[in-house]
Structures are given as structure tokens and as C-alpha cells.
Amino acid sequence: MTKNELHYEIAFNKAKFLPLDGVELIKETSNTLQLKSIFHPTALLKKLDYLNPVIKSVSNNSINLNAVCIFEHFSGVKPGKWQQFDNKGLARFIQTEENVLILDLSMSGLKKNAEYSVMIFEAGDISSVPDSLGSCLKNLFTFKSTGDGELLIVKEIENLFIYDIIGRSLVVDEKNVGRNASSEAIAGIIARSAGFFQNEKMVCSCSGNTIWQEAKY
């Protein structure tokens, strides 16, 4: 393995993991693998296709190449009266050394079977969403929520760098809202984070889970 390796937790439901160059098995249970690999998520999933795999989490060990964002929903909150209101999930950012940013996104409580856009907004001010966010700097991708209003996705984004987005806002809003967020926007501030299982802070006291333990929705 090299310094470029990524750490994965992968769920699978058939077959058995077979040794593979560029992949190191850390732990295996009846339906979960913990791996180290030099491969990015898309390439790794192709190589493990026989397992019918689903990536549950991905990270690296560099404190300088990771970020996290915890989403809040602000509909119904009066301007300037923000408080932790309605947690909708979290996003983890992992920077590789090949100029690829991996976004690991897990959310719940969305509208069912609805189309959303994931965007970077210029201001890291979520005190009066949507007005305090500023304008959209980059529309990353769109997705459709499940019939339960949930999302679990890992995306590779080229030419986006951790240092350019720290302190800005990550916004999930209904598709085609333009460069300004709507009053229904779900937003959070992108903050530098520790590496794989290096952060023991709780996401919230209600679950008692750390950022790396937080269940996928």
C-alpha cells in the first residue's frame, strides 16, 4: 500500500471476498468488509462487482485532506434566530492526491422521490438561510431521493479542492433553483475534520455516535 490509500467500509450480500492486488483486507464479517485500497470508489466497485457491494464509508488518514458538513434544515426558522433545528444527515469530503475529491453523502428526511441539487455556496453563514448563503459557486451534481426520502451516495468530483471549500456552505436544494437557494434549502458549513476514525466527537447527543460511527440512512 502507498500513502495514497483510502479506507473503505463496504456492505455486500453475496459471494466471498477474494484477494486482489491493490486491496488489503482489514476485517471481514458476514456482510461487511473493511478495506485499504489504492483505488478510487468507482474503480473499486467495478473490481468487487461480484460481491454486489455498497460503499458505506470512505476516508483517508490525513487530517489535512478531510472535511465534514452536518446538514440543518431551516424552513420555519425566523431570520437571525437560527439554532440547531432539524438535522438531515452529513457529508464527508476526502481529497486524494490525484486532484479528485470524494464526497460521501448520507441524508434522510427529504421529500420522497424528489430531485435535488448539491451545491457549494460562497458564504459559510447559515444564520439566516437562504439569504446569508450568498450565491452558488459550483453545482456539483443532482440526485433523486428514495421512496423513503433518503440518500446514500459516494461521488468522485474532479478539480475541486478541500482548501477552496473549507468555511463555505454545502447546500442541498430542490433541482433548478438557480444561483440563489430557496427557503427549503438544507445547508451546513464545510469544516476541516480528522481522518479515518480519528474523531471521537459525537454528531449529536441523541444518538451518542461519533462522526465515523454515525449510521448511514
Cβ–Cβ under 8 Å, residues 82 and 128: yes
User: What percentage of residues in the chain have a pLDDT greater than 70?
Assistant: 76
Query: What pTM was estimated for this model as a whole?
Result: 0.68
Contacts of 213 (CB under 8 A, 6+ apart): none
User: What percentage of residues in the chain have a pLDDT greater than 90?
Assistant: 22
Cβ atoms < 10 Å from Cβ of 16: 8
Cβ–Cβ under 8 Å, residues 66 and 192: yes
DSSP structure class, residue 15: S
pLDDT tens profile 70-102:
987 765 555 555 455 567 888 988 887 667 888
Range 15-36 average pLDDT: 89
Nearest to 46 by CA among 22, 72, 71: 22
Whole-angstrom distance, CA of residue 118 vs CA of residue 104: 12
Amino acid at 157: I
Q: What share of the chain is helix, strand, coil (3-state, %, to 5)?
A: 10, 40, 50
Which pLDDT belongs to residue 63? 47
Amino acid at 32: T
Cβ–Cβ under 8 Å, residues 96 and 40: yes
Element (H, E) at 75: none
In the numeric block, which cell numbers belong to residue 45?
A: 466497485
- Residues across the chain: 217
| Confidence bin at 121 (pLDDT 50/70/90) | very high
Phi, psi values for residue 66, rounded to 5°: -130, 150
Phi, psi values for residue 87, rounded to 5°: -70, 130
Q: In whole numbers, what is the pLDDT of the chain averaged over residues?
A: 80
pLDDT: is 190 or 82 the higher one?
A: 190
Nearest-10 Cα torsion for 171, 176, 179, 180:
-70
pLDDT tens profile 160-172:
888 889 999 999 9
Whole-angstrom distance, CA of residue 200 vs CA of residue 181: 33
Residue pointed to by grid coordinates 447527543:
205
Residue pointed to by grid coordinates 452536518:
70
